[in-house]
Structure 1
């Protein structure tokens, strides 16, 4: 399933994650810290624009490569993986896939190098799953658009210098996306949110008060926000599944290690059948989620529509990541409930995977809708 290039990439990602991310993971979680120097190092590897052509400073790789990056980062520090996804997929790949040549030349090189960080703003205080209900509007005035509205739960909201922002530019179905720079007049960052998990991935409210955006910063073409959004969300749901797979992998690794060392009744607990059942279930879930996610990534990389597959791997991988983390806590017992061990963090991080990028309930609705329209292919 993986090419030699993908295998080499995984080795690079594993080495980088163990050396650069793992030592910081607990501190990042405890302090809600964000380390821009880590992103600069990822940029030095050519991975901040992993799916972007080398002509713009990217890695020139595919969706599967991006998914591998999410998995390896997610295995040691899911917060970093989530911020990386918001940057590399929701912002950078979005501009690469939908932008004009002028926009690509202007914005992609500094985003791919790590000189600037990116984000995407779609969700609003009153509209999450119902994205089409958004109230943010963009009104044309001369050679500018003025954006007015609020966005909520925006990953990288406090640190991004370049953002892709969705706003209505006409009727309810006329939505456009805009490239907004942090210093544009009328743009400000609202409240930074303190979260249960993914604490090192900064999340905030964004405020647009007659934010003045040049007309040349309409991403691609006017009124194309909905099809752009749908394609981006498919890729997001596939790659974010990589983070879930990484969390599940970490939970299983920690559980095996602990179960081998921990003795009760003078016997390593890994020899107890009920512990063995939990480990076996975790392994089965992990491998199934990984294969489904890789398959979806390969379909997306080929250019084929992958909407149902994207939602399928998203809902399955996220739910098994949560369940695997719960099993890990149970295997570690009292230690698993303490912050001295990582498994409680895995659970807090994993839970977001069932909510962000579309809830599990919405993913099942999407799958059913796709099956009703196109059947099994």
Structure 2
């Protein structure tokens, strides 16, 4: 059977299972079993055992539950409220005023949570009621929150970066450093759009705003000290080479516990809730990683990734054309799969093809995170859209339409890092 027919058959089985409502991890396992049974003579059971061990015995993976736990702890503190109050005085004179708090607060919280959904939910609980009460246009408030919430994937520490680093055998420390400039650039692009929107629609923003003195700004900026200190401790230790990603994650958990205790948010109930939340999320991701590792091993035994890489090489696509094709492919995948599933499902198949045209796996990791960010705000299965639906009660497609300008900004960022790859690699050693 030709490689293209094998690929279509495997894809059809996976799509059928997902369409039937089978859990993603189980669907990946069953598809891998089918691929081994149908296209190879290898024993599926023995390969499942080795894949299960290899997918779970990687020391780097220990950073994953730790960063998730750190985000869960902070999720249950007054951190978001303090960030909103601390940032608000500094954006009052910018066109768009408090809408910029969505971007800034999401960027800051992203640097201590690593999760897009957690960032959107935490900041949204505070910012959306405040912006609505003050008369801000719903389209700007909801759209900026959904778009800025994706920063949880790009600004380190990022759970998706850890998953990609393990799958692609790329240094997670280098991935974290590589995500800093694109993350800051994306925040600037989001804020620039808010400024342009505000200048074009001044009548759809409140005309009154809070006037604060310099002394009041400095006083309220003290509310930002705990989270900024935690960011410096976690990211700074990685960037300075003092700690590995796993060690920095442990430091982050300790810092989050201290912040929660000092803010009065650390109780036995909140501690156990945060711990169980981290366990549930980590188990879900681990199960998906196991299924993806098994399916990847099955496809490797069938020779499919090498055949597809050779096919791409034979097509003679240049770097830009391949990135354009892959972007369309990932956007379509994002309509039906969550970000982590996209990464673990496609990395082993796509990497040989991108390596064949000379694309750096480190650069490709940041590119992949950005297109996965698009998946977070792409209907019908965009996780950020579901989070905002729960906060506002609005329809998924209505929220997606409000988010469309920020989706296009993400597309523009892909173009920028493709034309100027130094945006990704400038800080990496």
Q: TM-score normalized by structure 2?
A: 0.26
More strand by share: 1
Higher RCO (CA < 8 A, seq sep 6+): 2
Q: TM-score normalized by structure 1?
A: 0.29
More helix by share: 2
